Amino acid sequence: MDSLLWHYDNLEQWNEKYYKDVFLLTHLIGDEIAIGKEDEREYFYVAKKDTIMYLIPSEIIESGDMPFIALETLKTAYKGKAFQVIKKIKSVVLREEQTTTYKGMIDSWMDYNHEEKERYTLWKIIVDTAFSSRVNMRVLTYPGWMKDSVLFTLSRLRGSCFSVNKPSLPKLKFLLNNSTKVLGLNEVQQLEQHQKLDLAKFYEDTGDFKTQYINPTRGTKGTTEICKINNMSTLTFSNFPDSKKSYESQKEEIFDNIFDPKIRSRIFPLLFKGGSETIPACKQRFEHLTKKLDDEGVAQITIWLRNHIFYENNGYKLASKKDFKNKYIIKNNRWDRNFQSVCERLKLYSDSQEEFDKWTTLLYSCHKEYLDFVNKGLVSNYIYCGKEEIQQKVIEDEVR
């Protein structure tokens, strides 16, 4: 597969071609509503697309025919607002199709020239795990490593993936629903106290793999606001501190200095080597494209996408047929759940026990490198963190 097809401009063209006039789950903006008298009620979901409000019959959502194109609508009024009621649709659901191995699919995905090729491959598998399963992970790199770009490409093809800069509670709540499968969090740093508390509560619930997030701050008369998170993964992206500044001046930019051990122990940490503050680890260079995406390019992207849907639906069943033994079990149960979820995908990628051992060792090494980096920083800044906390970090990392 031509790596140029993963250029953002090409993905945008594919998205416009395939999803033009299409209704997606992300267009839904509210819970199910009932209209009419008790014995004549009809049930709908409210959607908004291109500034127009729609009422989508609940049976369309429940049938699995979304995404779809509306073939017939009828204008109506409800509670003083104008809506288009969708009467007839054409489903454009992409169906699964296996045309290559899981390894072939991962390797062809953004097959770029990268300084740390194996770690880059591992990261693609982690992002796929986040989409296909449920994990809560944080990753530390230099800028230009491609950590959030991988998620962006998946968002353009599959939808349901979002990346938020400086995540506030209102931003997060807007995306906390069943249609969000992966939520990326960028620039979690320089937070005010109330922002820390909001994010800590968010991380506590998601990191504990709860099925819903209950917002305690906006309820009235004893009620609370509930957001479903049972299908959602989180990926938190951070960059190394600036070497030209003191550690002390940047301590509020490091996840482990922002949140207490209860939160840290829920979000599995990784460090990826490669690149520097001025030289990106990804060596691929792109210019603005002037050539239109042709039918062959659309077909190649669509074939990859059908494969991705196939392995989303069947990957763990296929991996279970491979009798590879994992020598790593992390004592921290929440960290271990994340670790083992990725290992299942590594099993699917691997063709032998030896290859599986190589990938699981690399995954564990990236985890250990993160803890070594943070512990070193905390030790060198002893005034900020006492021995007890450092010792606790080391214990969390032990393998049994």
Strands (E) located in the chain: 22-23, 33-35, 42-49, 52-57, 68-78, 81-91, 136-141, 161-165, 182-186, 212-215, 225-228, 233-239, 268-271
Residues 146 and 248 in one domain: yes
pLDDT number for residue 380: 42
The tens digit of pLDDT for each residue in 50-91 reads 899 999 999 999 888 888 999 999 999 999 999 999 999 999
pLDDT number for residue 400: 45
Residues 158 and 255 in one domain: yes
Residues 80 and 122 in one domain: no
Residues 156 and 81 in one domain: no
pLDDT number for residue 218: 52
AA letter at 100: T
Residues 71 and 159 in one domain: no
pLDDT number for residue 299: 93
The tens digit of pLDDT for each residue in 253-277 reads 888 888 999 999 999 999 999 999 9
pLDDT number for residue 314: 97
pLDDT number for residue 223: 40
pLDDT number for residue 378: 54
Residues 183 and 322 in one domain: yes
Residues 86 and 127 in one domain: no
- The parent domain of residue 257 ranges over 114-281+291-400
pLDDT number for residue 101: 98
pLDDT number for residue 216: 60
In sequence order, the 6+-apart residues with CB closer than 8 A to the CB of 335 are 265, 268, 367, 396
Number of domains comprising the chain: 2
pLDDT number for residue 217: 59
pLDDT number for residue 276: 94
Report the length, in residues, of the chain. 400
In a domain, 102, yes or no: no
**Weakly modelled stretches of the chain, pLDDT under 50:** 219-224, 379-398, 400
Could you give the CA distance from residue 53 to residue 64 in angstroms, rounded to a whole number?
A: 21
Residues 40 and 136 in one domain: no
In a domain, 108, yes or no: no
* Eight-state DSSP code of residue 5: G
Residues 194 and 270 in one domain: yes
